[in-house]
């Protein structure tokens, strides 16, 4: 299936991808970054999957989330009748549970299920036994139980069942993970948990503020972002998947199941703007724990509990999504220098305080320490926000975000009564600002450039007015917006920067799709310079790229008319929210 054929379910500690055909092809337990027990997404059924649907097969006739929740309902209309499969993961109590409920809607439908449990990304075939009529699978540290109202028969390293469901009937399946050395976990009532899960999501959405003509798209994005938070710590992952390719069949395959400071800061800003301060408080506490230590040791990403060691390795036994190899876990970019994250973090701390989060002395001391580092380190070359694997450069966006860090530190002192050397920081901001205007702007073309002395452009330059570096009406801003649209457009959508064949900055072979966040940035930038009709037209085009349940991947490839990259991607849903708010 294509990437857009999947829907997301999750419990704010892990997540699963459910295909249109009723197959769960990706699930990592017990955390987002744990080894997968269903890894068909990056291989085939033998690497773990769980199919449930009419015996006749085929994709669901229609599917949707129940109301404003993360409960997926897939419906099949067959010759014999209509049947619904409800998939969800209840907010976790002790053990993670995945629940599947089959409901007969009309007539009688023959259903089938086929379960292949694998551990360690499809490498370990577990030992499966039946206890009290239920299945238990054990492999090393992992164990899962399947409690079902339908008995499954084993053979050929899989378990299968065929059954009939008539109108008004229900059959339930509960898949529960726990450490293999611990006692059997306590079972749950799947129907009771269905009601509790619906109530949880409905109440959470209602606690925020949502409005405007694109409310449905904004709420679905908000629910997706909430699903990507790791509830025990407050960390926020960039995506629940690894190695979904940016270039199908190519090598641009990365593990996004970690907490990027940039992505998390942007996600937090979107949540704050809609009134979700509890998430802001939890993230601030996660941040203080994760980056405790010397500011020069700040990493661009951490594990969901704040882990620092995220070594990048490859899983050679997996063929990859549509032969996109290698399949990677871990992320080597963890060791990169990306100066913009200092600006993202300090801006996020400022915005959360401005919107009502109580002051925190430890957070302020952290801000001061980061500013101490930036005062001497802002003028270093770095790898930039796109995590290029070519040589370091003086990226303009990185310098702009260093200015943001200094500017927001000053505001924390002057607007929010913190104690600090605001005069010195203001002088630093002015120095950075002047250098960017002098070295990062091409007056002949009336545009800012990707890095000092380069002619290439970068879609991150669209953030200059959003960050307040220059006002939207400034001719240099307007010129940059026009240049980015002219030179980085692919079928009306925006590339991050010139692809590898034309620009060796990223140090990788092959091309990639249009980056959806960049396209949303263009729409918001157009709105800010008064071109609202153009902005709305582009925004509506971008919304049309969402799949049938409102989800977006990292990129869209106009060459093939499909979504590419890890899915769903927080970095795509955050600017959707911001653009909708700007246009409303």
CA atoms of 440 and 509, how far apart (whole Å): 27
**Is 403 exposed, middle or buried, given 0-12, 13-18 or 19+ CB atoms closer than 10 A?**
buried
* CA distance readout (Å), 546 to 14, 447, 575: 22, 31, 14
**Secondary structure percentages of the chain, helix, strand, coil, to 5:** 35, 25, 40
φ, ψ (nearest 5 deg) of residue 574: -65, -50
Tens digits of residue pLDDT in 139-149: 999 999 999 99
Whole-number pLDDT of residue 505: 67
What structural domains does the chain harbor? 3-202 (2.70.98), 208-583 (1.50.10.10)
| pLDDT at 333 > cutoff 60 | yes
Average pLDDT for 556-580: 95
Radius of gyration of the chain (CA): 24
Name 85's Cβ contacts closer than 8 Å, sequence gap at least 6.
22, 52, 53, 60, 73, 74, 76, 100, 101, 102, 103
CA atoms of 383 and 472, how far apart (whole Å): 27
Give exposure, 471-510, as e/b (b: 16+ Cβ within 10 Å). Answer: ebeeebbbbbbebbbebbebeebbbbbbbbeebebbebee
Name 166's Cβ contacts closer than 8 Å, sequence gap at least 6.
81, 104, 107, 108, 109
- Range of weakest confidence among 284-293, 345-354, 501-510: 501-510
Q: Are 545 and 552 in contact (CB under 8 A)?
A: yes
Whole-number pLDDT of residue 62: 98
| pLDDT at 502 > cutoff 60 | no
| pLDDT at 530 > cutoff 80 | yes
Q: Are 24 and 17 in contact (CB under 8 A)?
A: yes
CA atoms of 419 and 36, how far apart (whole Å): 47
| pLDDT at 211 > cutoff 90 | no
Q: Are 222 and 271 in contact (CB under 8 A)?
A: yes
CA atoms of 500 and 146, how far apart (whole Å): 47
Tens digits of residue pLDDT in 161-170: 999 999 999 9
Average pLDDT for 351-365: 91
Tokens 């991050």 locate to 496
Q: Are 159 and 135 in contact (CB under 8 A)?
A: yes
Name 11's Cβ contacts closer than 8 Å, sequence gap at least 6.
89, 90, 91, 92, 96, 97
Q: Is 539 helix (H, G, I), strand (E, B) or coil?
A: helix
Q: Which residue has the higher pLDDT, 287 or 432?
A: 432
Whole-number pLDDT of residue 131: 87
pLDDT level of residue 288 (50, 70, 90 thresholds): confident
Whole-number pLDDT of residue 501: 53
Tens digits of residue pLDDT in 1-28: 999 999 999 999 999 999 999 999 999 9
Q: Which residue has the higher pLDDT, 507 or 363?
A: 363
Indicate whether this model's pTM tops 0.85: yes
Average pLDDT for 345-374: 92
Average pLDDT for 44-48: 96
Whole-number pLDDT of residue 506: 64
Name 540's Cβ contacts closer than 8 Å, sequence gap at least 6.
none
* CA distance readout (Å), 214 to 211, 217, 361: 7, 6, 38
Tens digits of residue pLDDT in 219-255: 999 999 999 999 999 999 999 999 999 999 999 999 9
Average pLDDT for 433-456: 96
| pLDDT at 275 > cutoff 90 | no
Average pLDDT for 496-518: 75
| pLDDT at 503 > cutoff 60 | no
Whole-number pLDDT of residue 292: 82
| pLDDT at 561 > cutoff 70 | yes
Whole-number pLDDT of residue 295: 72
Average pLDDT, the chain: 94
Average pLDDT for 113-133: 94
Whole-number pLDDT of residue 500: 52
Containing H/E element for 407?
Answer: helix 396-414
Rounded to 5°, angle at Cα 567 from 218 and 239: 85
Whole-number pLDDT of residue 118: 97
**Is 98 exposed, middle or buried, given 0-12, 13-18 or 19+ CB atoms closer than 10 A?**
buried
DSSP states of 521-533: HHHHHHHHTT-HH
| pLDDT at 268 > cutoff 90 | no
pLDDT level of residue 484 (50, 70, 90 thresholds): very high
**Is 309 exposed, middle or buried, given 0-12, 13-18 or 19+ CB atoms closer than 10 A?**
exposed
pLDDT level of residue 405 (50, 70, 90 thresholds): very high
DSSP state of 499: -
Average pLDDT for 107-129: 97
Whole-number pLDDT of residue 293: 77
| pLDDT at 539 > cutoff 90 | yes
């Amino acid at each position: 299936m294509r990437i857009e054929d999947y829907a997301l379910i999750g419990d704010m500690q892990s997540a699963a991808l459910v295909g249109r055909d009723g197959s769960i092809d990706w699930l990592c337990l017990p955390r987002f970054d744990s080894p997968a027990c269903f890894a068909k997404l990056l291989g085939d059924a033998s690497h773990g999957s769980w199919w449930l649907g009419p015996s006749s097969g085929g994709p669901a006739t229609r599917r949707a989330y129940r109301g404003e929740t993360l409960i997926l309902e897939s419906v099949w209309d067959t010759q014999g009748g209509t049947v619904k499969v409800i998939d969800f993961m209840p907010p976790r109590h002790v053990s993670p549970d995945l629940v599947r409920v089959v409901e007969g809607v009309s007539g009688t439908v023959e259903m089938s299920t086929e379960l292949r449990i694998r551990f360690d990304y499809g490498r370990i075939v577990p030992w499966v036994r039946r206890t009290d009529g239920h299945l238990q699978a054990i492999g090393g540290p992992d164990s899962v139980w399947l409690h079902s109202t339908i008995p499954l028969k084993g053979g050929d390293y899989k378990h299968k069942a065929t059954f009939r469901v008539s109108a008004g009937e229900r059959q339930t399946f509960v898949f529960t993970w726990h450490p293999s050395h611990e006692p059997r976990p306590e079972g749950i009532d799947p129907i009771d948990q269905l009601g509790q899960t619906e109530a949880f999501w409905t109440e959470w959405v209602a606690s925020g503020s949502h409005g405007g003509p694109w409310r449905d798209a904004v709420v679905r994005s908000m629910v997706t972002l909430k699903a990507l938070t790791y509830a025990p710590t407050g960390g926020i992952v960039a995506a629940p998947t690894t190695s979904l390719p940016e270039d199908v069949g190519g090598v641009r395959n990365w593990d996004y199941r970690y907490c990027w400071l940039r992505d998390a800061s942007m996600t937090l800003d979107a949540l704050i703007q809609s009134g979700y301060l509890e998430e802001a408080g939890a993230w601030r506490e996660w941040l203080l724990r994760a980056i405790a230590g010397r500011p020069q040791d700040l990493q661009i990403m951490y594990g969901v509990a704040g882990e620092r060691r995220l070594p990048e390795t490859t899983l050679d036994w997996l063929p990859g999504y549509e032969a996109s190899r290698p399949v990677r876990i871990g992320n080597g970019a963890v060791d990169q220098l990306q100066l913009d994250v200092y600006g993202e973090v300090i801006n996020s701390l400022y915005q959360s305080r401005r919107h009502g989060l109580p002051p925190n002395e430890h957070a302020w001391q952290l801000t001061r320490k980061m500013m101490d580092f930036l005062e001497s380190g802002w003028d270093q070359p770095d790898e930039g926000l796109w995590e290029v694997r070519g040589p370091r450069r003086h990226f303009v966006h990185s310098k702009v975000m260093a200015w943001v860090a200094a500017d927001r530190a000053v505001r924390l002192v002057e607007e929010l009564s913190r104690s600090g050397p605001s005069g010195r920081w203001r002088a630093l901001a002015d120095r950075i600002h002047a250098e960017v205007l002098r070295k990062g702007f091409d007056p002949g073309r009336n545009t800012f450039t990707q890095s000092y002395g380069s002619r290439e452009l970068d879609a991150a330059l669209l953030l200059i007015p959003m960050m307040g570096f220059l006002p939207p009406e400034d001719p240099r801003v307007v010129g940059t917006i026009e240049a980015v649209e002219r030179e980085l457009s692919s079928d009306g959508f925006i590339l991050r920067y010139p692809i590898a064949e034309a620009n060796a900055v990223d140090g990788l072979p092959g091309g990639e799709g249009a980056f959806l966040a960049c396209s949303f940035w263009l729409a918001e930038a157009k709105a800010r310079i008064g071109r609202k009709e153009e902005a709305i037209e582009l925004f509506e085009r971008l919304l049309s790229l969402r799949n049938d349940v409102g989800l977006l991947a990292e990129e869209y490839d106009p060459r093939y008319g499909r979504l590419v990259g890890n899915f769903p991607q927080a970095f795509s849903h955050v600017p959707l929210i911001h653009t909708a708010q700007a246009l409303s």
